[in-house]
Amino acid sequence: MLDYSEQANWENGFGQIQSPINLSTNDNQHLADYLPIHADEFYQLNTEIDDHTTIRLLGMGNASIFERPYHFQQVHFHAPAEHVIDGQVNPIEIHLVHENDVGQTVVVALFPQLGNANPDIQNIINNFEGNHDHSVSLKIHHQINDFQTGFHYLGSLTTPPLTEGVEWIVINNSNLTVSQSQVDWFIQKFGKNNRACQPINQRNIQYYHK
């Protein structure tokens, strides 16, 4: 099982473009545009998995990302959040993992703010069965709309094997909320499962903000 207290010892292959990273709305190259992503109004979730370090749900859905077709594959959660934006650590980070037909990966990261309970997350919590992967029929509704602002950069998976070449879209204007008790449920169940921020090195990060 993944031990976040030993994450400094996780092995990785090349190590120069790892995720997560610290992001800043001031320092990066600004593009006066919305992020070029468009997704189905919902993604259909069909399998819920106890990863022991998080909940992972497999599913189906379609998205256009930078004008190219991608398939939604799975969603999972990190609490607290992994990417740090303008020094702020959000309570939770949702990772929507997409892949295209030749195997390129795009992860869309969302940061619900503390507020009302999130109905999709509540369904996922209610359906959770520890140590038991099982079929579900859930949807995640309209998580990615057409007017998102945020960051685009090249990084890695945030859990082993920490594979690089992963394209990140980190959305910072999501209007999702999550309740404190939902966040507490994740941390009580799995412990804190956020990887520490990694060196940016020579990477160029683009900030889309219309």
Applying CB under 8 A, which residues contact its own copies? 12-14, 17, 29, 66-68, 101-104, 152-154, 161, 163-167, 203-206
CA distance 44 to 137: 7
Rounded least distance, CB 159 to its own copies, Å: 14
Rounded least distance, CB 163 to its own copies, Å: 6
Rounded least distance, CB 164 to its own copies, Å: 6
116-122 long-range CB contacts below 8 Å, 24 or more apart?
116/177, 116/179, 117/177, 117/178, 117/179, 117/181, 117/182, 118/176, 118/177, 118/178, 118/179, 118/182, 121/77, 121/178, 121/182, 122/182
Comparison of 43 and 208: residue with beta carbon closer to its own copies? 208
- Beta strands (DSSP E) in the chain are 22-23, 29-31, 37-39, 42-50, 55-60, 62-65, 68-78, 84-85, 93-99, 105-110, 113-114, 134-141, 150-156, 164-171, 177-178, 206-208
Comparison of 115 and 165: residue with beta carbon closer to its own copies? 165
Comparison of 44 and 206: residue with beta carbon closer to its own copies? 206
Rounded least distance, CB 206 to its own copies, Å: 6
The strand pairing partners of 65, in sequence order, are: 37, 68
Rounded least distance, CB 152 to its own copies, Å: 6
Comparison of 131 and 202: residue with beta carbon closer to its own copies? 202
Comparison of 163 and 180: residue with beta carbon closer to its own copies? 163
